[in-house]
Structure formats: structure tokens, C-alpha cells
Amino acid sequence: MRWEIGLAVAIVIALGTWLVWGPFKHVGLPPARPDARLIDFNLGGARGALELVGEEAAATYRLLYRNGTASDVLSEEEIRRVLPPAVLKEVRTRIGNVVFRILNITGWGSLVWVAIGLLGQGAFFGRMLVQWIASERRRRSVIPEVYWWLSLAGAGTLFVYFAWRQDIVGVLGQSTGFLVYVRNLQLRRATGDRIRPRART
């Protein structure tokens, strides 16, 4: 197997991670104040970030919108008129917790859903790895049956995850593959198509 392929995969993963968590995360927002902490929000389709500076009762806030506008600076008392105490507590917990910020979740219970999403992605990685190894062994492009089973498992798991995230792009992307995966498994069963081991020479 060629190491260049592994390097290319690592570079693409690093690029994707940088695009998600890097400088483009808050593109379009007005400049934040020094020492500000940001948490993303979506209010009726208006996206942006809640900016927090300071701690507890001395904290001040602003709503920063993706269109470049921002609210006035709001005191603790003023933000409590906008956000109920339970929501404000949740916001502070998320801002203070690096795991919540990185995974874009609001509580520890959401880690279960993230794990489901990672399992689905792991199945898709597994299918690619299995197909790659099988092809390298045969010295030609082949698709073993387990590839389609991993595809089915990955699509089902990610479908559930994207539905929880309410991500229509992900839901549509995973739902369309089901028929293809199932049909390929049916065709393999009907034709008895199996990858036979290479004869030793």
C-alpha cells in the first residue's frame, strides 16, 4: 500500500477540521471585544454568536449577527430579560466547557448522539479501508461484500444522527444510499458473486 494515500487522507481531514474549527467558524460576525468568549446561536434563522465578557454578575453580553451587525452591550440584568435563567446557565456551562464547544453540543447527554455519529462515520471509514485492502491484494479495483454491509450500517447510523441534528443535507445524503446498498447486496446474493482467494503461485 502506498503511504501517499494515507498522507492525502490525513491532509484532507486536517483541512476539514481547520475549516470547521478555524478562523472561518465566525465569518461575517463583527469584531469581538478583547477577552470575549463566543457561543453560536440560531434565532429564527438569524445566525450569530452570543459574546460574553467577564464572569457571573459582572459579565456583559452582545449578540453578534452573521450579517455584520451587533446588539448594544447588555448587562447581566438586561440579558436575563432576554434569556431565561436555565438557558443562561446552559450558555455559561457550554462556554466554559471546551468539549461542548468543540462538539457543538449543550450537555453531556448529547455525547451519546455524537458517539452514534462517530460510529456511523467509523463504518464508512471501515468500508473504504476494507475495499482499499481488498483492491491492493488483488492488484485491481474490487468491492467485497462487507463493503456494502458497512455502507448500510454507516448510512443507517448517520441517518439517525443527522435527523437528531436536524441537518436536512445529511439526512438526504444518507437516505438516498440505502436503496443502492441493499440492491447491491441482493445482486451479489442472486449471482453468487464472491471474491475468490487468489491461487498461490
Q: Does 115 lie in the same domain as 87? A: no
Same domain, 75 and 125: no
Task: Look at the chain and report how many structural domains it folds into.
Answer: 2
Select from 98, 123, 151 the last residue of a domain: 98
* Minimum mean pLDDT range among 3-12, 65-74, 144-153: 3-12
Q: Which of 29, 26, 25, 27 is nearest to 68 (CA)?
A: 29
75-100 confidence digits (pLDDT tens): 988 988 888 888 877 777 777 677 77
CA distance 80 to 118: 36
Tens of pLDDT, residue by residue over 10-49, are 888 888 878 777 777 777 899 999 988 888 877 777 888 8
Q: Is the pLDDT of residue 173 over 80?
A: yes
Find the helix packing angle between 168-191 and 145-165, rounded to 10°.
160
Write the pLDDT tens digit of every residue in 95-143: 767 777 777 777 778 889 999 999 999 999 999 899 988 988 888 988 9
Which residue's C-alpha cell is 445482486? 187
What is the secondary structure of 49-93 as a DSSP string? EEEEESSGGG-EEEEEETTS-BPPPB-HHHHHHHS-HHHHHHHHH
Query: Under 8 Å CB-to-CB from 104, ≥6 apart: which residues?
Result: 40
Distance CA 52, CA 73 (A): 10
The pLDDT of residue 160 is 92
- Mean residue pLDDT of the chain comes to 84
pLDDT classification of 65: cutoffs 50, 70, 90: very high
Q: Does the pLDDT of residue 194 top 80, yes or no? A: no
Phi first, then psi: give them for residue 132, nearest 5 degrees: -65, -50
How would residue 157 be classed by pLDDT, with cut points 50, 70 and 90?
Answer: very high
More confident residue, 7 or 3: 7
Claim to verify: residue 83 and residue 114 sit in the same structural domain: no
Name the pLDDT band for 6 (thresholds 50, 70, 90). confident
Percent pLDDT > 70 in the chain is 93
35, HSE (Cβ side, Cα atoms, 13 Å): 5
Q: Taking the model in full, what pTM does it have?
A: 0.65
Domain of residue 122: give its range. 110-191
Contact 49, 94 (CB under 8 A): no
What is the distance between the alpha carbons of residues 172 and 155, in angstroms, rounded to a whole number? Answer: 11
Same domain, 49 and 26: yes
pLDDT band, residue 69 (cuts 50/70/90) = very high
Please indicate, yes or no, whether residues 23 and 86 belong to a single structural domain of this protein: yes
Going by pLDDT thresholds of 50, 70 and 90, the confidence category of residue 201 is very low
Cα separation, 80 vs 170, in Å, equals 35
CB 179 within 8 A of CB 151: no
Q: How many Å separate Cα 100 from the centre of its chain? A: 13
Q: Are 113 and 164 in contact (CB under 8 A)?
A: yes
- What pLDDT, on a 0 to 100 scale, did the predictor assign at position 96? 67
Q: In what order do the strands lie in the sheet with 37-43?
A: 37-43, 46-53, 60-65
Helices 145-165 and 110-138: angle between axes, nearest 10 degrees: 160
Task: Please check whether residues 149 and 187 belong to one and the same domain.
Answer: yes
Q: 116 lies in a domain? A: yes
Answer whether residue 2 is part of any domain. yes
